[in-house]
A and B are shown apart, each in its own frame.
Chain A
Amino acid sequence: MKAARSFAGLLLCAVAPLLAQRGAPPGPANPFLGKTEAVAEGETLYNQHCTKCHGAGGGGGDIGPAIVSADRLDIGVSDAQTFNIIKNGVAGTPMSPQRLPEADIWKVVTYIHTLRGTAIDNPLPGDVAHGEQVFWGKGQCGTCHMMSGRGGLTAPDLSNIAGTRKARSISDALTKQQHRVYGSGGAHLQALPVMDSYLPVYVTTADGKIIEGVLLNEDGYSLQMIGNDNQLHLFDRAKLRRVVVEPRSLMPTDYDKRLTPDEFKDLLAFLTRQGRPAPPPARRGGPPEPQEP
């Protein structure tokens, strides 16, 4: 119990300085941002120096906290702040200053940068235009998914997919049946999730009418679905005669097989660009924001 308390204290100490720096000025720009070779070198350096505490892929270890989360938005720590933490450590925590050349620190930062954010921050390489053709053509993605007002409604709209999911998460959804990813606390939810599995559902109303579609949400008292009529249906469960939810996703997970390697790569290049990157942080100075009120 005592050990658990100490660990909790350690985490707080380690995280608090990160939080405190959220309002700090952006600092120097990352010289390696977007450079693939630097990412690879940074990963090697990370695995040599950082994994022991912060875990593989920044997911957290026995000593240090997670520095990225698996599928949620990571916000608030700029590359410059990460650089300073690696270079100078965090006082009062096991995070000691790392004796690495500054260029190597920046490479580690570049690698961590690719782990953070969502796909739109680190889009995958490929022929984006061709990927779009695959999306609407051979991939038949638009049959179920909508993109900017075009496509189907029986699967999640993908207009902002790269703004909400990481590239690996998108790739896994196309290739793995068990691709659902949880937050950095494992199955312990940190926020109320949207139910985006879109499972097939068949509802029989009290007057015998059958409505088919996909499930958007449900609990013991109500059910929300989108029907094959393209309309939202919101039901009081007590007023339904029968509800059948098929526990299988309609999403094919063999796109790495039904597409050629180039098609698959280009499709990922297209999907990992669907969204808007976060705007750069506002520069300090300039006129103050007008008061509201």
Chain B
Amino acid sequence: MPKKPLVLFGLMCVGLCGSPAAQVPTPDQALISPDAKDWVTYGGSYTSQRYSPLKQVTTANASRLEAKWVYHVDGTTELEPTPIVANGVMYISGFNRIDALDARTGNIIWKYQRQPPAAARQRGTAIYGDKVYLATSDSHLVALDARTGGVRWDVKSEGGFTISGGAPLVADGKVIVCGNRPHGFIQAYDAESGKYAWTWSAVPTAPEDPAFATWGGGTPAGAPIWVSGSYDPELNLIYYGTGQPDPQWTGIARPGDNLYSDSIVALDVKTGKLTWHFQNTPHDVHDWDSLESPVLVDATYRGRPRKLLLQANRNGFYYILDRVTGEFLQGTPFVDKLDWATGLDGKGRPLVAPGHEPTVKGAVTCPSTAGATNWPPPTYSRDTGYLYVVVAEGCGINVITSSTVPDSGTGYYESPHAPWQAYVRAIDALTGKRMWEYKAIRSNHYGPGLLSTAGGIVFAPEQISQVSVLDAKTGKSLWHFNTGDVITAAPVTYSVDGEQFFAIASGTNVFAFGLFDGR
């Protein structure tokens, strides 16, 4: 036994585990081609498919799942983060905080807590080599040592921008963050050093910008960005959704399309320049942001191999775009209750039906402001070719307190004639055809996100506390567990020593599940 303090010399290892002889992937490789046992980004991989090749848990044995551990995240309220899992360690984030756990047992390894403890909702972290990243409530971006939680660097956001609760995304060696203030934006920082790289503003800031004219003389504002994006390493493009224009509920002060609100945007990750955009909801007055995860799929579409981008949008339409050019290929309603538009034109622009602008008296609109779906992410199964989406059927009544004051008070509520009901709905990704649906009884609002696996299952938590496993082909429920609290987060799956786990945050706890005997 040594009688004096252990002294460490030599090079710090990159990565957390593995024998010295093992081939250690570079940080970029580990994200481009993630190890199947890990969940390395908010969307599981750069595609945001939230599909895992793991298949220990199948339709045949899912009934033998059981809770393996629960971790209480003290001081929080309603957790929304998607954990990151790499090499057996789970990282759970919040503003100002990351907890690192042994992903097999739930035992805490380290905790980084910066003052003050913050309860604001935050949706995840990111990992790059031996660093994990978090945003603070005063808009610093911090890199932590993934082994110890020690601070590696800490930078204040450039230009006074306020970083939102969207999970950072590391792409091309840059940490990409997004935010809402003073308007929607995306920023990049060098992942190794924290050095600032670029900012893209989601609304035009100069009159010479062609997008400026789409605000009809009003001041471009809004378009907040608070959900992480996707990345195509071959094209070196990142894909993000943007939020609603401001003022949110009346368009009288901003006649025009209000670019780049409610849009899907593709940015060159090296420069931050806009490569293309597609606006789902021009001149929005219903808060139908486009922050639903853009899912990247390579497929033969109408006889031609294409790089596709799929999005089930809050406005009720399911979109298929060419992600190289942004070309609109197809748009299909994925909810029955949709009355604000009669369809989409050949460019994907909605054919708006009259009578749905919010009024003082109240205007019924379907879907509701809560949306046909919302930010909790969908999943795409490479086996079935289906996109699985948490759907809310229902209509809302939108009221404003003044028809002449641009930023007057507002509200929306459930239409008594069309109460909301949540479903998990399977959509054939290339046709938009609905294949099956699972009714989440009692859940009436968007809630958690989804994942699918090579085991033929969809892991489908529900807004009201149930965690269900569904057959990916049929939607049949195979197993369920009551977490005892609401669920507004997205699940992950990972493997440690050959044992597959599923984890989901519910209320103030993170639950992990696995097979009864680990096999």
Interface residues of A (CB under 8 A from B): 73, 75, 117-118, 120-121, 143-144, 146-149, 152-160, 163-164, 190-192, 194-195, 200, 202, 212-214, 216-219, 221-222, 224, 226, 228-234, 236, 246, 250, 252, 275-279, 287, 289-293
Q: List 24 A-B contacts (CB under 8 A).
A: A152-B8, A154-B5, A164-B113, A194-B110, A200-B6, A216-B110, A224-B102, A226-B148, A228-B8, A230-B8, A231-B15, A231-B16, A231-B17, A232-B16, A232-B147, A234-B89, A250-B6, A252-B5, A276-B114, A279-B137, A291-B287, A292-B180, A292-B375, A293-B370
- A106–B244 Cα gap in the complex (Å)? 47
Known contacts A232-B17, A234-B88; is A194 also within 8 Å of B108 by CB?
A: yes
B interface, how many residues as a size bin? 35 or more
Chain A contacts for B270, CB-based, 8 A = none
Q: Does B111 contact A (CB under 8 A)?
A: yes
Could you say which of B2, B6, B152, B287 has the most chain A C-beta atoms within 10 Å of its C-beta? B6
Q: Report which of A152, A160, A200 forms a contact with B114, defined as CB distance below 8 A.
A: A160
B99 to chain A, nearest CB (A): 9
Q: Report which of A157, A221, A252 forms a contact with B149, defined as CB distance below 8 A.
A: A157
- Interface mask (B98-127 → A, CB under 8 Å = 1, otherwise 0): 000010110111111111110001000000
Chain B contacts for A164, CB-based, 8 A = 113
Q: Does B229 contact A (CB under 8 A)?
A: no
Q: Does B72 contact A (CB under 8 A)?
A: yes
**Chain B residue at minimum C-beta to C-beta distance from A144:** B5
- A222–B497 Cα gap in the complex (Å)? 13
A287 to chain B, nearest CB (A): 8
Q: Report which of A121, A157, A252, A293 forms a contact with B287, defined as CB distance below 8 A.
A: A293
Q: Report which of B15, B115, B291 forms a contact with A118, defined as CB distance below 8 A.
A: B115
Given contacts A75-B115, A118-B115, A226-B147, 15 further A-B contacts (CB under 8 A): A75-B116, A75-B117, A147-B150, A160-B114, A160-B151, A163-B114, A194-B108, A195-B108, A217-B109, A232-B87, A232-B109, A234-B104, A276-B114, A289-B181, A291-B287
B459 to chain A, nearest CB (A): 22
- Interface mask (B258-298 → A, CB under 8 Å = 1, otherwise 0): 00000000000000000000000000000101010000000
- A56–B2 Cα gap in the complex (Å)? 42
Q: Report which of A147, A229, A290 forms a contact with B222, defined as CB distance below 8 A.
A: A290
Q: Does B374 contact A (CB under 8 A)?
A: yes
Q: Is the CB of B111 within 8 A of A120?
A: no
Chain B contacts for A160, CB-based, 8 A = 112-114, 150-151
Residues of B166-187 at the interface with A, using a CB-CB cut-off of 8 Å, are 180-181
- Interface mask (B123-167 → A, CB under 8 Å = 1, otherwise 0): 000000000000011101000010111111110000000001100
**Chain A residue at minimum C-beta to C-beta distance from B149:** A157
A248 to chain B, nearest CB (A): 10
Q: Is the CB of A194 within 8 A of B5?
A: no
Q: Is the CB of A236 within 8 A of B151?
A: no
Q: Is the CB of A236 within 8 A of B371?
A: no
Q: Does B78 contact A (CB under 8 A)?
A: no
Q: Is the CB of A224 within 8 A of B107?
A: yes
- A158–B15 Cα gap in the complex (Å)? 21
Residues of B301-344 at the interface with A, using a CB-CB cut-off of 8 Å, are 314
Q: Does B243 contact A (CB under 8 A)?
A: yes
Q: Is the CB of A276 within 8 A of B115?
A: yes
- A148–B155 Cα gap in the complex (Å)? 13
Chain A contacts for B117, CB-based, 8 A = 73, 75
Interface SS of chain A: helix, strand, loop or mixed? loop
Q: Is the CB of A217 within 8 A of B16?
A: no
Q: Is the CB of B16 within 8 A of A157?
A: no
Known contacts A222-B107, A234-B102; is A120 also within 8 Å of B2 by CB?
A: no
Chain B contacts for A224, CB-based, 8 A = 102, 107, 109
Chain B contacts for A229, CB-based, 8 A = 13, 20
Q: Is the CB of B145 within 8 A of A146?
A: yes
Q: Does B12 contact A (CB under 8 A)?
A: yes
Q: Report which of B12, B145, B314, B370 forms a contact with A157, defined as CB distance below 8 A.
A: B145
- A144–B6 Cα gap in the complex (Å)? 7
Q: Report which of A121, A219, A292 forms a contact with B165, defined as CB distance below 8 A.
A: A292
- A28–B104 Cα gap in the complex (Å)? 50
Known contacts A153-B8, A224-B102, A232-B89; is A148 also within 8 Å of B1 by CB?
A: no
A81 to chain B, nearest CB (A): 15
- A118–B113 Cα gap in the complex (Å)? 12
Chain B contacts for A158, CB-based, 8 A = 150
Q: Is the CB of B224 within 8 A of A146?
A: no
- A291–B120 Cα gap in the complex (Å)? 12
Q: Is the CB of A152 within 8 A of B7?
A: yes
Q: Is the CB of A154 within 8 A of B8?
A: yes
Known contacts A73-B116, A216-B110; is A290 also within 8 Å of B180 by CB?
A: yes
Chain A contacts for B153, CB-based, 8 A = 148-149
Chain A contacts for B75, CB-based, 8 A = 191
Q: Does B246 contact A (CB under 8 A)?
A: yes
- A232–B150 Cα gap in the complex (Å)? 14
Q: Does B45 contact A (CB under 8 A)?
A: no
Q: Is the CB of B497 within 8 A of A292?
A: no
Top 7 A-B pairs, shortest CB-CB distance: A157-B150, A159-B151, A278-B115, A279-B138, A191-B74, A290-B224, A222-B105
A115 to chain B, nearest CB (A): 16
Residues of B55-97 at the interface with A, using a CB-CB cut-off of 8 Å, are 71-72, 74-75, 87-89
Q: Is the CB of A219 within 8 A of B289?
A: no
**Chain B residue at minimum C-beta to C-beta distance from A231:** B13
- A163–B8 Cα gap in the complex (Å)? 26
**Chain A residue at minimum C-beta to C-beta distance from B179:** A290
Chain A contacts for B243, CB-based, 8 A = 290
Q: Does B214 contact A (CB under 8 A)?
A: no
Chain B contacts for A195, CB-based, 8 A = 108
**Chain B residue at minimum C-beta to C-beta distance from A292:** B226
Q: Is the CB of A290 within 8 A of B181?
A: yes
**Chain B residue at minimum C-beta to C-beta distance from A153:** B8
Q: Does B228 contact A (CB under 8 A)?
A: no
Chain A contacts for B114, CB-based, 8 A = 160, 163, 275-276
A78 to chain B, nearest CB (A): 12
- A160–B10 Cα gap in the complex (Å)? 24
